């Protein structure tokens, strides 16, 4: 924290039971301070005290009510304190807010990598986790995956211990469906309904489809270690369990990278503290020479290119290899939905899911080019940019992969969240 314009210490006095709309005022204050970029705040719980109503509260006498005072205090720049005060006044309906000038003689934060050392997986994971029991039928599983926008579904026993996991890949590899769930979400509603109706007649249950004994992460695992484990197993998301192996959450690459991006936002003038041995620039972690097609290339050529890409993306370039667009399998399906009849669209989706190329696609796609399916303009990152710039762009624009360009804007590579997370995890 710099001392630009002087520093202020804020003291907020409230009761531990104070709430707004059923939510703890103390928790609301902490969320507001974090969102405003304040570098830290501390909540102190009193052992005794009384307020303007002269009611004595204490935890020293069992017969006296335990509605004890809470004190929230933080130190920040004067300008940021001024900006956050109106929000604090709105949240604190009963209590005291005091501000005093302070002299900051030392301001530092924990070092040792891009992830705050005091944070564990439990601090960033999603807690509202869908799961299924082993006997749940296939149709219900697919419906849950599509309706909730999920890519993985833990299978749990009666005690909610994780015994398996079901992914797109599991269902495709077992021949249960020829359409990846992520692509089914891009299909018209009628096509999705027909697919689910067909799956309802399958006899498979969760126990038949799951990968048994999947890797899990302890909820007390430090974030840097979690990043390393996810990178080593090439996992986009993993179940989180407590000390008894009970499912308590799911953590994703996005969750971890969001934490890093938030730290960068709060400390914009400080370089990202990368672990020893980590790549320093985008060029050191990118995939070189990604599949690329011209804007005039037939749509079938663009699909072949994206199927060859580990990131399932084809970059569209002009004659000088300047990036003009990018194509994903979802783009192809969404932009083909109105042109192709239902059967042809399903066969196209099956090809994009790893099946055989439909013989009639050339006729149905005649006159269609990569330019018709691409998304543009495209956010790119320079090959010599620091890793932090790739994180900032991915999180700010909510994109999973960035084409990498040289100083002249020519395509030289592509980088995805997996590559970034591998760079941030623990290195030996």
pLDDT in tens, the chain (428 residues): 554 458 899 999 998 888 888 889 999 999 888 767 677 899 998 776 665 555 555 554 444 445 678 999 999 888 889 989 999 999 999 899 999 999 988 766 544 578 887 788 999 999 889 999 999 988 888 888 877 878 889 999 999 999 999 987 776 665 566 556 666 655 556 565 666 666 666 778 899 989 999 999 999 898 988 998 998 888 899 999 998 899 999 999 999 999 999 888 888 878 888 877 888 899 999 999 999 999 999 888 888 888 888 888 999 999 999 999 999 887 877 766 556 555 666 666 666 666 666 665 554 555 688 898 899 899 999 999 999 999 999 999 999 999 999 999 999 999 999 999 888 876 54
CATH fold group of domain 7-102: Alpha-Beta Plaits (3.30.70)
Q: Cα separation of 296 and 373, whole Å?
A: 11
Helix count and strand count (H, E) for the chain: 17, 21
Tell me if domain 121-266 and domain 282-362+369-424 are identical in fold.
yes
pLDDT of residue 132: 95
DSSP 275: P
CB under 8 Å, gap of 24 or more: what pairs does 87-94 form? 87/32, 87/36, 88/10, 88/12, 88/29, 88/32, 91/20, 91/25, 91/28, 91/29, 91/32, 92/12, 92/14, 92/25, 92/29, 93/18, 93/20, 93/25, 94/14, 94/15, 94/18
**CB distance 358 to 348 below 8 Å:** yes
pLDDT of residue 232: 87
pLDDT of residue 180: 64
pLDDT of residue 414: 96
Class of the CATH domain delimited by 121-266: alpha beta
**CB distance 100 to 9 below 8 Å:** yes
3-state class (DSSP) for residue 109: coil
Which residue ranges make up each domain of the chain? 7-102, 121-266, 282-362+369-424
3-state class (DSSP) for residue 43: strand
The number of CA neighbours under 13 Å toward the Cβ of 152 is 19
**How many residues appear in the chain?**
428
pLDDT tens digits, 191-233? 656 666 666 667 788 999 899 999 999 998 989 889 989 988 8
Q: Cα separation of 424 and 428, whole Å?
A: 12
CATH fold group of domain 282-362+369-424: CBS-domain (3.10.580)
pLDDT of residue 53: 54
Report if pTM > 0.85.
Answer: no
Q: What are phi and psi of 31, to 5 degrees?
A: -60, -45
**CB distance 81 to 88 below 8 Å:** no
pLDDT of residue 389: 95
């Amino acid at each position: 924290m710099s001392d630009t314009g002087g520093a202020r210490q804020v003291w907020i006095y409230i009761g531990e039971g104070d709430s707004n709309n059923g939510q703890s005022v103390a928790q609301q204050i902490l969320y507001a301070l974090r969102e405003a970029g304040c570098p830290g705040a501390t909540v102190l719980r009193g052992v005794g005290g009384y307020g303007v109503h002269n009611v004595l509260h204490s935890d020293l006498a069992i017969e006296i009510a335990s509605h004890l005072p809470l004190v929230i205090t933080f130190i920040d720049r004067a300008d940021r304190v001024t900006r956050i005060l109106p929000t604090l006044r709105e949240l604190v309906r009963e209590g005291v807010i005091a501000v005093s000038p302070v002299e900051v003689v030392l301001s530092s934060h924990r070092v040792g990598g891009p992830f705050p050392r005091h944070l564990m997986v439990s601090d960033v994971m999603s807690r509202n986790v869908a799961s299924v029991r082993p006997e749940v039928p296939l149709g219900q599983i697919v419906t849950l995956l599509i309706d909730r926008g999920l890519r993985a579904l833990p299978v749990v026993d009666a005690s909610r211990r994780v015994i398996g996991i079901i992914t797109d890949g599991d269902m495709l590899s077992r021949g249960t469906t020829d359409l990846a769930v992520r692509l089914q979400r891009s299909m018209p509603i009628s096509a999705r309904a027909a697919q689910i109706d067909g799956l309802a007649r399958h006899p498979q249950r969760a126990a038949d489809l799951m990968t048994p004994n999947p890797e899990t992460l302890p909820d007390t695992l430090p974030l840097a270690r979690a990043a390393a484990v996810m990178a080593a197993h090439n996992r986009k998301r993993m179940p989180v369990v407590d000390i008894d192996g009970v499912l308590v959450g799911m953590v994703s690459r996005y969750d971890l990278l969001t934490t890093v991006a938030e730290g960068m936002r709060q400390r914009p003038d400080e370089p990202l503290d990368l672990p020893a041995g980590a790549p320093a620039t985008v060029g050191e972690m990118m995939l070189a020479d990604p599949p690329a097609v011209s804007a005039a290339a037939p749509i079938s050529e663009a699909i072949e290119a994206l199927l060859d890409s580990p990131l399932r993306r084809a970059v569209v370039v002009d004659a000088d290899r300047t990036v003009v667009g990018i194509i994903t399998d979802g783009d192809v399906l969404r932009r083909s939905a109105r042109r192709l009849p239902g059967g042809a669209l399903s066969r196209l989706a099956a090809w994009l899911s790893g099946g055989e190329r439909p013989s009639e696609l050339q006729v149905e796609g005649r006159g269609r080019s990569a330019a018709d399916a691409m998304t543009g303009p495209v956010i790119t990152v320079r090959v010599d940019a620091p890793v932090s710039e790739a994180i900032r762009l991915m999180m700010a624009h909510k994109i999973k992969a960035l084409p990498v360009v040289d100083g002249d804007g020519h395509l030289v590579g592509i980088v995805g969240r997996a590559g970034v997370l591998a760079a941030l995890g623990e290195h030996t």
